[in-house]
Amino acid sequence: DQQVKQNSPSLSVQEGRISILNCDYTNSMFDYFLWYKKYPAEGPTFLISISSIKDKNEDGRFTVFLNKSAKHLSLHIVPSQPGDSAVYFCAAESDNTDKLIFGTGTRLQVFP
Amino acid sequence: NAGVTQTPKFQVLKTGQSMTLQCAQDMNHNSMYWYRQDPGMGLRLIYYSASEGTTDKGEVPNGYNVSRLNKREFSLRLESAAPSQTSVYFCASRFPGQFEKLFFGSGTQLSVL
């Protein structure tokens, strides 16, 4: 049973526009959430994170929003650039474990 | 600075063969992890090790064994490979603590025929 889900397997966005990637989770014990980015033939790399005590965190063009009541988080990329084309994974963990649970991934394509 | 190193990068096995995937990190991390990536399934945790001498099951441990040889090395063994184990395997490591980033290796692409 997938505890972290990304319901959109792919997303296509024009350069300069906003990309919105969504993630849902089922475990109410999760209290820390992360986004990772993955290029082909490489391992995932950390992008941005958010603690459950916040509802928003920004880092440059990337903003993550957390809605705890809906068990939903989203990643906004503004403006989108061709170099953002990659697979994006959301991940979650709870304070009492040492394991990070990943979602199914969304492939983002940014076209000129 | 090598980070997390996985060997081999590619491997083809026949059903029933065994093999060990090697992982080493040079960042002095305590925690190490093995994930597999499959289309439509994302990254799923196979096993993890919070510290030298300890290992715990993740989401999909069946068919695998692990060994935390020392602080640097964490190996994943397939005793009798099955086609369902065809996947890309990633090793990762981090310092202990919830807010620590996970660092990944570049992956091992395994095909079981």
Report chain A residues whose CB lies below 8 A from the CB of B50. 98
Across the interface, of B42, B59, B106, the residue whose CB is closest to A104 is: B42
Q: Does B101 sit within 8 Å of A46, measured CB to CB?
A: yes
pLDDT of B19: 96
- The contact set of B with A (CB < 8 A) is 4, 31, 33, 35, 40-45, 48, 50, 56, 58-59, 90, 92, 96, 98-99, 101-107
Residues A86, A8, A27, B88, CA torsion sign: negative
A-B CB pairs within 8 A amount to 62
What average pLDDT does the structure give for chain B? 94
Task: Return phi, psi of residue B26, to 5°.
Answer: -115, 25
Local confidence band at B60 (pLDDT 50, 70, 90 cut-offs): very high
Q: Does A32 sit within 8 Å of B48, measured CB to CB?
A: no
- β pairing state of B108-112 and B10-13: parallel
Whether the predicted pLDDT of B57 surpasses 90: yes
pLDDT of A70: 96
Q: How far is residue A106's CA from residue B99's CA, in Å, rounded to a whole number?
A: 23
> What does the pLDDT look like over A24-55, one tens digit per residue?
999 999 999 999 999 999 999 999 999 999 99
Å between A55 CA and nearest CA of chain B: 16
Q: Does residue A91 contact residue A35 with C-beta atoms inside 8 Å?
A: yes
Local confidence band at A2 (pLDDT 50, 70, 90 cut-offs): confident
* Chain B nearest-CA residue for A30: B98
pLDDT of B1: 63
Whether the predicted pLDDT of B86 surpasses 90: yes
Residue A100 CA from chain centroid, whole number: 13
